[in-house]
Structure 1
Amino acid sequence: MSSAFSLSSGRGRGAARLAAAALVWGLATAGTIAAAGTATADEIPQNQGGATATIGDLKTYGSAVIHENGEDSWVSAGLFEMSVENGGMLQTYGVDLHSPTQRDARYQETSWNGTSLSGNAKAGRIRWILENSYPQVNDLAALAGKAGVTGLTEQDAAAGTQVAIWRYSDGADVDAAAPQAQKLADYLEKNARDLAEPEVSLTLAPAAVSGRPGERLGPVTVHTNAGSVTVTPPTDIAAGGVRVVDQDGRAVTSATNGSRLFFDVPAEGADGSTSLTVQASTTVPVGRAFTSETHSQTQILAGSSESTVSAAASANWAAKGAITALAAQKNCAKGGVDITAANKGDAAFTFELMGDEHTVAAGVSETLTIPLQEDQVYDFTIGGADGGGKRFKGVLDCKTQGGASGIAAQTLSEPSPASVGGSDGGTDLAETGGSGLTPVIAGAAIALVLVGGAVVVLVGRKQTPPQV
């Protein structure tokens, strides 16, 4: 069975992004399948593992000026701080200059292919900037010498680095306000070279496996830069004695990069499903992207303390019929979400999604891309006749906003004299901005507005956000 929801256009990204959660652009489809399922749909996380963190304030920053459509907008530019779940701190810069950053938004380490960096031929230069500037290079005198400036402060270094990143992430015409920061930005932009995307800090592949009772389901391979990971076996009652073992059948409690893990399912066990998790402490590689499911600006990692990272994999087993392993991953190159269904059973796996019926033959694994519009929130379930199954939800955020519309924001703990932002008075965001926010007009008054507990400085007139 299926239930249809209207799909709205993903354009007009400024105010539309802030209202998207309330408008709930999306789709919901409950799929009919031939495989066994539980009474409640299990939500499938759409990440490949790694660090999960909550964003805080813009900690070290200066001012920058965006030049668009003959107007100038002043913004704050610099480093955010993020708190990692279960321990650790991250420092990040923003990509997608015109997008809002929601304080306390939850972020997940993500591959570039799941962000606006996908398809950006110059994304590798952003990683070079991160590797060769503040805070990775914390000798400010040495950094200033390379940029040909003197007296470089942390604020200048952060602002100059952010400006250089925006030039490559957004193609923005943006300058740092301070001369030292501007020279650093120019130096970084000119000297940047392409570097490869860094590897994930921790992931399991594949994220889902399936098979019959009495078999070892897998392998699930560990990929990590940590020296070792802790393996937490299934503890739920539904697991029914399932163990996590290596290829020789020995129980596993720890693993290393390249380790192959298996779910050892008892032969007499009833049909069911379970999952395992792995966790480690490591430094997240510089250049890893972080995205949120709450329309909060994509971040890119500039520095990491020793931090907790984790990943999970699921297993599904049945004695007969279709036996499926389902996984989901954003695919910005194709503008949608990839749903991978591997059928290890003896019957076809059939489900309906977005009005179309799909069939995965026995013994076959297929990947289906669900096309979505930019900024579209989605929530759909591929489930069994008893109402169980797998639920996939999220929001597609694959493009930089551009300066044609809307609101840009970053969280601020306090205003800097030259920072500005825009607000229509209805958000919980502190603002910094970009084009379409608050163009600077000579002699304009300065107003202080309290938004969500943070002070925001507005300069000039306030443009009306486009209607959605």
Structure 2
Amino acid sequence: MCASYAAPFTRSRGAGRRTAALLVCGLAAAGVMTAAGSAAAAGTPRSQGGATATIGSLKTYGTAVIHDKDGDYQVSAGLFQMFVDGGGMLQTYSVDLRNPTQKDAKYHETPWSGTSLGTDRNAGRIRWILQNSYPQVNDLAALAAKAGVKSLTEQDAAAGTQVAIWRYSDGAHVDAVDPQAEKLADYLQHGAGDLPEPEASLTLDPPAVSGRPGKRLGPVTVHTDASSVTVTPPADAAADGVRIVGGDGKPVTSARDGSRLFFDVPEDAAAGGAELTVQASTTVPVGRAFTSDSRSQTQILAGSSESTVAATATAAWAAEGAIPALSAAKDCARNGLDITAVNKGDMAFTFELLGTEHTIPAGASRTVTIPLQEDQAYDFTITTPSGRGQRFAGVLDCRTEGAAIGTTTQTLSAPSPATVGGTAPGTNLADTGGTSTTPLIAAIGLSLLVLGATALSIVHKKRTTQN
């Protein structure tokens, strides 16, 4: 991973090396993202369901100091604001201290298993902190009493909560500058219990089904904490007579938690596929993770207004041959992408990815893990026998920046996002992400590499001649 640090209080001799490393890292990332973007014509990849939002600014925050082997770094620590697609607002804390937050980055609700939380034994303690601190606990006088301080401002409460979270999520040594905020961080850190991962706000299970025309394909089960969801039938298949129905065979336009939905495909339908969407308005559960495929800093939910959430499911059908239903999910425990293929056909289905061929026998279901490197962007399309392509795109982001660069830590503490606060004292983390100058920085990085390699070559030749 490419690390982004706040400006040190005391400048070290390693600053130049750190700058060069960031330039090289930016160059590599630009190449990967360009390759991924070229495949966009294959269709838009879908998330696993839930809320999708755009990150705003760091709204309520104080100051924290990260202590590491290169010195002390000051960052802002507190709550971000996110704007939900379709309506709604989210409040989030960071769980990746040294990774910058990209301005206006798109985020989607993600299971812990697809983030660094999936392999973090302290993830449950982070959720406990969220449930027992600001803004879930908005009685600041009561929170101050528990922390053993006279009073807390909103800024103190947000900073102390973020510092406590970083001590678990990133494993670095970090302190809040304000004494009240620091005491709150200590109280939350030492009092944290272990809570399970919250359920998703809205998902469809399974996200893909397949079968023969003339039958109901499914069921696809709705899982949500919303009172009801709106069901949008596949517009592209309506002309072919494909309907979304319930267990009784009647068309449905709304459903609720536990509802079972089916694709009703006419017997004379040509081989093809369709997609249904369900949408609802609900509050997203505290503790849900939010990730971005632009490598922007991973967030964890601290509060939610009534927000729009959505999920999709696909169906494929054919009268003969292989009929695969394909879905994918990031698997941080295995450092890869899990692709699940269910073949309801009478022939085997074979596909190749990254030089490896995978075969799903007729009537079988298999999950294969495509190994990926940390921070690796992927973008590929699997074409089914009917000619439809299923696109999977994203970035594998399973480790915090500190873990990726081998940062040593001194306590249970976890540093704050070096971007939530910025790269210099008082800088807003939200302003430290990628900008339009990224290609220029990448070009400069390449130039420095070329010049450095040339200089080394000249020195080597001179020494050889002298010898």
TM-score category of the 2 structures, normalised to the smaller one: 0.7 to 0.9
For residue 170 of structure 1, what is the aligned residue in structure 2?
A: 170
| Aligned 1:110-259 pairs, distance under 5 A | 110-237=110-237, 240-259=240-259
Match of 1:440 in 2: none
Match of 2:419 in 1: 410
Tell me the C-alpha RMSD between the 2 structures: 2.8
Matched, 1:419 2:426: yes
The answer (yes or no) to whether the contact 2:228–2:257 under 8 Å persists in 1 is: yes
Displacement after TM superposition at 1:431 (Å): 3.1
Paired residue type of 2:426: S
Determine whether 1:431 maps to 2:432: yes
Query: What SS does structure 1 have at the residue aligned with 2:314?
Result: strand
Runs of 4+ in 1 over 6 A off after TM superposition: 25-28, 405-408, 450-453
| Aligned match of 2:71 | 71
Give the SS at the match of 1:163: helix
Q: 1:384, CA displacement in angstroms?
A: 4.8
Give me the whole-angstrom Cα distance separating, in 2, the residues matched to 1:127 and 1:313.
29
Q: Which residue of structure 1 aligns with residue 32 of structure 2? A: 24
> How far is 1:83 from its partner?
0.3
- What aligned pairs does 1:69-468 form with structure 2 within 5 A after superposition? 69=69, 71-237=71-237, 240-384=240-384, 388-402=388-402, 404=405, 409-410=418-419, 418-420=425-427, 430-431=431-432
Instruction: Measure how far apart 1:382 and its partner are.
Output: 1.3
- CA distance in 2 between partners of 1:147 and 1:348 (Å): 62
Contact 2:55 2:107 in 1 (8 A): yes
Secondary structure (helix, strand or coil) at the match of 1:263 reads strand
Which residue identity lines up with residue 242 of structure 1 in the other structure?
V
CA contact (8 A) 1:12 1:405 kept: no
**Secondary structure, in 3 states, of the residue corresponding to 2:401?**
coil
The Cα shift of 1:280 comes to 0.5
Deviation at 1:387, TM superposition (A): 6.5
2: distance between equivalents of 1:18 and 1:70? 22
- Classify 1:236/1:360 alpha carbon distance in 2 versus 1 (closer, same or farther; 3 Å): same
Deviations 1:32-73, CA, capped at 9 Å, x for gaps: xxxxxxxx844442x320000000000000000001005110
TM-score if structure 1 supplies the norm length?
A: 0.82
Q: Secondary structure at the match of 2:135?
A: coil
What are the within-5 Å matches in structure 2 for residues 38-53 of structure 1?
Answer: 41-45=42-46, 47-53=47-53
Asked if the contact 1:223–1:258 (Cα under 8 Å) also holds between the matched residues in 2, the reply is yes
Change (3 A) 1:298 1:195: same
| Change in 2 beyond 3 A, CA 1:252/1:388 | closer
TM-score (norm 2): 0.82
Alpha-carbon spacing, 1:240–1:386, altered in 2? closer, same or farther (3 Å) = closer
Kindly provide the CA deviation profile for residues 255-313 of structure 1, in whole angstroms up to 9, marking residues without a partner as x: 11111000000111111111100000000000000000001000000000000000000
Contact 1:238 1:273 in 2 (8 A): no
8 Å contact kept, 1:289–1:299? yes
Q: Count residues in correspondence.
A: 409
- Give the percent of matched residue pairs that are identical in Structure 1 and Structure 2: 66
Contact 1:51 1:201 in 2 (8 A): yes
Deviation at 1:236, TM superposition (A): 1.1
Structure with more of its chain in helix, by fraction: 2
Q: Secondary structure at the match of 1:296?
A: coil
Shift of 1:240: 1.2
Q: Which runs of 5+ in 2 are unaligned?
A: 5-21, 408-415, 438-447, 451-467
Name the counterpart of 1:57: 57
Give me the whole-angstrom Cα distance separating, in 2, the residues matched to 1:384 and 1:186: 54
SS at match of 2:157: helix
1:21 to partner: Cα distance:
3.9
Structure 2 residue identity aligned to 1:113: S
* 1:457 counterpart residue number: none
> Structure 1 residues 320, 209: CA separation in 2 closer, same or farther (over 3 Å shift)?
same
Letter in 2 for 1:22: A
> Measured at CA, do residues 119 and 408 of structure 1 come closer, stay the same or move farther in structure 2, by a change above 3 Å?
closer
Letter in 2 for 1:58: L
